[in-house]
Amino acid sequence: MPEGIVSRILRLPGYGAYAWEADEVTGVLWLSIRQTTATPYSVCGGCGISVRDVHSWTERKLRDLPWGVWGVWRVWLRVEVHRVRCRRCGVRTERVPFVTGKAHSTTRLEAAVARDCEAAPVSRVARTWHVPPETARRMDKRVLRRWAAARPRKPLRSLGVDEISLGQRDKFLTVVSDLDRGEPIWAGLERKREPWTASSPRLCRRAGAGPCAPSVSTCGSRSRRASGPTCPTPASSTTSSMSCGM
């Protein structure tokens, strides 16, 4: 396989392939990669500072996005990973920029799997990407955690509380949403306020006043009401809601 094609398959800034192996019978392409920058450095896996003192190195195998110019190739990476001497943490394994923690797949593969999980069942997505269903679920969860950690944190002002039928008698899923941003922020089987207010301090908390008491209006065919003087229900809201002065 020409070197130029290998470079187009890899597309990882700061890394280059020094060896590759293609098995046409199984359709698997192995790329051995390492850092190619003029002054390579590693990021400590403990504290995150840049370190140049390398203690040793090992090889880590990661599954990457497939490549389909000459049919569908399943791409695997053999990554040269350093163990570095950090002045704060001692000897630690470096942080690889395109993988999360101890995962066995690249972040871009996980993002592609999670994108398909938005529109199809996990079992179908797993068959499409040739991974076990549990692996597809873990990929989807890691992508959601990265998204949640990177999104801006803004004060909550209006919460919506709704119930979704699970198709069984008296089985409903309670969903709490941020009405201003139109995003769900909590879901569970509990119908009381305490579980979801205790799960996150962001859920309607006033400075020095504790959790706000919600005022819940009729939602669909089911209704609940618990009124509080500090959280009036917005008149324009069509879902069960509560408004919090922040």
According to the model, what pLDDT value does residue 31 have?
95
Instruction: Report the distance separating Cα 226 and Cα 217, nearest Å.
Output: 9
Q: Do 28 and 133 lie in a common domain?
A: yes
49-96 tens-digit pLDDT: 999 899 999 999 999 999 875 557 899 999 999 999 999 999 999 999
- Own/partner contacts of 56-64, CB < 8 Å, gap of 24 or more, are 56/82, 56/83, 57/81, 57/82, 57/83, 58/83, 58/93, 60/96, 61/104, 62/99, 62/103, 62/104, 62/105, 62/106, 63/104, 63/105, 63/106, 63/109, 64/31, 64/105, 64/106, 64/108, 64/109
According to the model, what pLDDT value does residue 198 have?
64
According to the model, what pLDDT value does residue 38 have?
74
According to the model, what pLDDT value does residue 223 have?
36
Six token digits for residue 143? 């992508």
Side chain identity, residue 216: V
According to the model, what pLDDT value does residue 202 have?
57
Q: Does residue 31 sit in helix, strand or coil? A: strand
Could you give the angle at the alpha carbon of 204 between the alpha carbons of 200 and 206, nearest 5°? 110
Q: Which of 90, 119, 149 is the last residue of a domain?
A: 149
pLDDT for 10 beyond 50: yes
Q: Do 230 and 113 lie in a common domain?
A: no
- CB atoms under 10 Å from CB of 122, counted, come to 17
What's the rounded mean pLDDT across residues 139-164?
Answer: 86
Q: Do 144 and 33 lie in a common domain?
A: yes
Which residues is 243 bridged to in the sheet? Answer: 158
Q: Which of 149, 183, 218 is the last residue of a domain?
A: 149
Instruction: Report the distance separating Cα 219 and Cα 160, nearest Å.
Output: 10
According to the model, what pLDDT value does residue 239 have?
46
Q: Do 145 and 164 lie in a common domain?
A: no
Q: Which of 129, 149, 169 is the last residue of a domain?
A: 149
Q: Do 25 and 82 lie in a common domain?
A: yes
Contact 49, 93 (CB under 8 A): no
According to the model, what pLDDT value does residue 208 have?
42
220-236 tens-digit pLDDT: 434 333 333 334 333 33
DSSP 212: P
According to the model, what pLDDT value does residue 8 have?
82
Q: Quick one: which of 165, 176, 181 has its CA closest to 241?
A: 176
168-221 tens-digit pLDDT: 777 888 888 888 888 888 888 876 766 666 656 555 554 344 444 443 333 443
Domains held by the chain: number: 2
Instruction: Report the distance separating Cα 37 and Cα 140, nearest Å.
Output: 32
Q: Do 142 and 81 lie in a common domain?
A: yes
Q: What global pTM score does this model have?
A: 0.68
Range of the domain at 221: 158-243
Largest CA distance in the chain: 72
Residue 101: which region, alpha, beta or left (left: phi > 0; alpha: psi -120 to 50)? left
84-119 tens-digit pLDDT: 999 999 999 999 999 998 899 999 999 999 999 999
119-149 tens-digit pLDDT: 999 999 999 999 999 999 999 999 999 988 8
